[in-house]
């Protein structure tokens, strides 16, 4: 079966931000090829010919059904133009398209995935093995891994580990593959509510829950993010600054009074405005974290909604 491929050339620093843009534009998986991954990987020796085979810039690729090319191109160009406003060091942002066979693509895509190892657990692609003694969450799909670990996901998981989850419900808003809600269960949460407006994302989250024997502890909702959630709990939302801004007034409906909220997916240049917006809705910032061009925050909800 044929697939379409869009490739954007960019800098190492901007590669994860561009990957997020392609993921949202295509609705499918993305990959990053970057020679700097070899240079900073702690290798004693890297063959010169291998480095020369990599392009000078990072190549970020997204995949989609060929009939969606026009929509993907327009959406990508629009989002890249917005990215430049907040992040000038984007490189050439040259866009190219190609076609290929999905069997070949799948094999190449999987080569880019690596486990995410954190203090309390390991998140690992299902086709890889881990000998870690920590709890292991196996995932069958998702952009979360990137070429090492997507900063937004990794920071969200790190901040979740700072919350006492024991016996609590965690609401994963915009769950995608389910990585945050399912990880929370392994970190001690009693129940996970996984909600996404994308039916395919909810199906993927359900599949990953079953893969890890966690389905009985989950509620799956295909709906309008906060509006369809009837439970309250610790909230994890790895989205974008714009989506978080729209959700800020309604998040108090799904948080516990004075309960914790973890936000991620925020470009570093937009962190302050995002936190000000949440403060206006009664949320208090307890901690922030920045990796590369991305930021995340741990907030506390108001005792009573404003």
Q: What is the CATH number of the domain that holds 162?
A: 3.40.50.150
Which tokens is 93 given?
């942002």
What pTM does this model have? Answer: 0.69
Which tokens is 292 given?
């590369």
Tell whether 81 and 209 lie within a shared domain.
no
> How many structural domains comprise the chain?
2
Tell whether 97 and 175 lie within a shared domain.
no
Q: Kindly state whether residue 228 falls inside one of the protein's structural domains.
A: yes
Q: Kindly state whether residue 124 falls inside one of the protein's structural domains.
A: no
Tell whether 165 and 244 lie within a shared domain.
yes
Q: Kindly state whether residue 135 falls inside one of the protein's structural domains.
A: no
Tell whether 82 and 168 lie within a shared domain.
no
Tell whether 93 and 187 lie within a shared domain.
no
pLDDT score, position 245? 92
Query: Do residues 194 and 205 touch, judged by C-beta distance below 8 A?
Result: yes
Tell whether 99 and 166 lie within a shared domain.
no
Q: Kindly state whether residue 122 falls inside one of the protein's structural domains.
A: no
Residue-wise over 112-121: b if at least 16 C-beta within 10 A, else e? bbebbebeeb
Tell whether 181 and 76 lie within a shared domain.
no
pLDDT score, position 210? 96
Please name the residue that has the structure tokens 């989609």.
Answer: 64
Distances (CA, A) of 45 to 33, 42, 244: 19, 9, 44
Tell whether 210 and 280 lie within a shared domain.
yes
pLDDT score, position 279? 97
Q: Kindly state whether residue 39 falls inside one of the protein's structural domains.
A: yes
Q: Which residues of the chain have pLDDT under 50?
A: 38-53, 143-149
pLDDT score, position 53? 46
- Let me know if 55 is exposed, middle or buried by CB neighbors in 10 A (0-12, 13-18, 19+): exposed
User: Quick one: three-class SS letters along 183-228?
Assistant: HHHHCCCCEEEEEECCHHHHHHHHHHHHHCCCHHHEEEEECCHHHH
Q: Which of 47, 79, 111 is the last residue of a domain?
A: 111
Q: Kindly state whether residue 123 falls inside one of the protein's structural domains.
A: no
Q: Kindly state whether residue 137 falls inside one of the protein's structural domains.
A: no
Tell whether 183 and 93 lie within a shared domain.
no
Q: Kindly state whether residue 143 falls inside one of the protein's structural domains.
A: no
| Domain with 260 in it | 156-300
Tell whether 10 and 84 lie within a shared domain.
yes
Q: Which of 55, 78, 111 is the last residue of a domain?
A: 111
CATH number of the structural domain spanning residue 99: 3.30.70.260
pLDDT score, position 77? 95
Which residues, other chains included, contact 235 with Cβ-Cβ below 8 Å and sequence gap of 6+? Answer: 170, 171, 173, 251, 254, 255, 259, 260, 261, 262, 301
Q: Look at residues 30, 28, 29, 18 and name the one whose alpha carbon lies nearest to residue 79.
A: 18
- Let me know if 47 is exposed, middle or buried by CB neighbors in 10 A (0-12, 13-18, 19+): exposed
CB atoms within 10 A of CB 83: 20
Cα three-residue angle 191-297-138, rounded to 5 degrees: 45
Cα(first)–Cα(last) distance of the chain, in Å?
Answer: 52
DSSP codes of every residue in 4-25: EEEEEEE-TTTHHHHHHHHHHH
Query: Do residues 14 and 87 touch, judged by C-beta distance below 8 A?
Result: yes
């Amino acid at each position: 079966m044929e697939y379409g491929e869009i490739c954007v050339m960019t800098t190492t620093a901007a590669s994860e931000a561009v990957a997020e843009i392609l993921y949202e534009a295509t609705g499918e998986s993305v990959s990053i090829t970057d020679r700097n991954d070899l240079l900073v990987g702690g290798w004693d020796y890297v063959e010169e010919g291998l480095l020369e085979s990599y392009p000078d810039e990072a190549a970020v690729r997204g995949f989609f059904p060929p009939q969606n090319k026009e929509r993907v191109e327009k959406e990508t160009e629009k989002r890249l133009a917005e990215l430049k406003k907040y992040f000038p060091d984007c490189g050439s942002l040259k866009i190219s398209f190609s076609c290929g066979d999905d069997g070949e693509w799948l094999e190449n895509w999987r080569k880019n995935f690596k486990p995410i190892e954190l203090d309390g657990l390991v998140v690992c692609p299902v086709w890889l093995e881990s000998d870690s003694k920590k709890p292991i969450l196996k995932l069958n799909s998702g952009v979360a891994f990137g070429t090492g670990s997507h900063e937004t996901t990794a920071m969200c998981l790190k901040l979740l580990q700072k919350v006492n989850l024991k016996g609590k419900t965690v609401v994963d808003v915009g769950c995608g593959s389910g990585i945050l809600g399912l990880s929370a269960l392994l970190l001690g949460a009693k129940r996970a509510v996984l909600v996404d407006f994308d039916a395919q994302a909810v199906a993927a989250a359900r599949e990953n829950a079953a893969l890890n024997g966690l389905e009985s502890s989950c509620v799956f909702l295909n709906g309008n993010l906060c509006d369809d959630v009837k439970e309250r709990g610790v909230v994890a939302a790895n989205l974008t600054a714009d989506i978080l801004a729209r959700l800020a007034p309604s998040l108090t409906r799904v948080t516990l009074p004075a309960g914790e909220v973890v936000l991620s997916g925020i470009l570093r240049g937009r962190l302050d405005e995002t936190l000000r917006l949440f403060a206006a809705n009664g949320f208090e910032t307890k901690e922030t974290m920045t990796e590369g061009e991305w930021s995340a925050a741990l907030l506390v909800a108001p005792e009573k909604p404003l």
